[in-house]
A = this chain, B = another copy of it.
Amino acid sequence: MKAYHLGLDVGGTNLAAAVYDNDYKMLAHRSIPAGADRNWQAITGDMAAVSRSVIDEAGISIDDVECWGIGMPSCIDTRTGLLVNAHQFGWKNVPIREWLEPLLPLPVRIENDANCAAYGEALAGAAKGRANVVMLTLGTGVGSGIIIDGHIFKGSDGMGAEIGHSTLVQGGRLCACGRKGCLEAYCSATALIARGKEVLGEACTNAKYVFTLAKEGNSKAMDLIDEYAGHLAAGLSSIVTIFRPEVLIVGGGVADAGDFLLDKVNALLPEATYNGVTIGVPPVVRATLGNAAGLIGAAFLK
């Protein structure tokens, strides 16, 4: 393994790049607007440019960099390098690895961004030193990453581990994916805000609004948080029943509520989980690395 690692986190809003040493110490970081409405040549050109610029800023040689690790908001067939669907960029079934390989003289390693975030938290964050970890990122949608025996698990064709689109309530709420009853339709920040609008009124435009009211003792908001915690505990119970991870990590905007939410979820999880009272359940903890999780995970992809 070379001395330095280059990670790029591609989002619909920003392209963020960073260089790390082998101890996960960040040497340089830069973020530029994604300009997602431009053509792919312009965007991938900027992906390379911001990546080159952090290498320069870190004052290292590209020859000492292990790889160009990239996290993307899409299913990616890591065998073929085919990106399935990055709706932020309007890219569908594009040969992302082929697009990128000519742009930097480094091996391209590319992975779903939620998988990168989970891997980053397992390497250097909330689950540092743990080999079996599942992370849910509760934001606009619900991203998920599964680490088994220290490796990212993404299904036999590289396109699995989409826990956000596993079923929580068959035939239930409409999900952004067009199907019904997905975990995402109940556990995303979007879902909590939508319920907030129904129960608390149109002023509820973000998850924090609900948590703030609940903390102030508003009984409707408190009920809403209990309802949300119930959904999350039910979703996590399936993960535990299948994977029995050592730690469950929760990230994304909703996780900013911290212990106020996680205490409820941790209290519900044993009874919500098959054999949970008898054999125990893993702790649900908050992600600690924030946006850096995806960058570290990408940088250290294998």
Assess whether A21 is interfacial by the CB under 8 Å rule: no
Assess whether A209 is interfacial by the CB under 8 Å rule: no
Assess whether A193 is interfacial by the CB under 8 Å rule: no
Bound Cα distance A244, B167 (Å): 15
Q: B156 and A131: CB pair below 8 A?
A: yes
When distances are taken between beta carbons in the complex, the residues of chain B under 8 Å from A182 are: 274
Assess whether A235 is interfacial by the CB under 8 Å rule: yes
Assess whether A166 is interfacial by the CB under 8 Å rule: yes
Interface residues on A, range: 35 or more
CB distance from A278 to the nearest CB of B (A): 7
Q: A160 and B242: CB pair below 8 A?
A: yes
* Chain A 149-163 per-residue mask, 1 if CB under 8 angstroms from chain B, else 0: 100011111111111
> A interface vs B, CB < 8 Å?
75, 84-85, 131-132, 146, 148-149, 153-163, 165-172, 177, 179, 181-182, 186, 230-231, 234-235, 237-238, 240-246, 271-272, 274-275, 278-279
Copies, count: 2
Given contacts A238-B166, A238-B167, are A159 and B275 in contact (CB under 8 A)? yes
Q: B84 and A279: CB pair below 8 A?
A: yes
When distances are taken between beta carbons in the complex, the residues of chain B under 8 Å from A84 are: 275, 278-279
Q: B242 and A155: CB pair below 8 A?
A: yes
Bound Cα distance A300, B82 (Å): 37
A-B contact pairs, 11 of them (CB 8 A): A85-B275, A155-B245, A156-B245, A159-B275, A160-B242, A162-B241, A162-B274, A165-B241, A165-B275, A169-B169, A179-B274
Q: Which of B155, B168, B240 is within 8 Å of A244, CB to CB?
A: B155
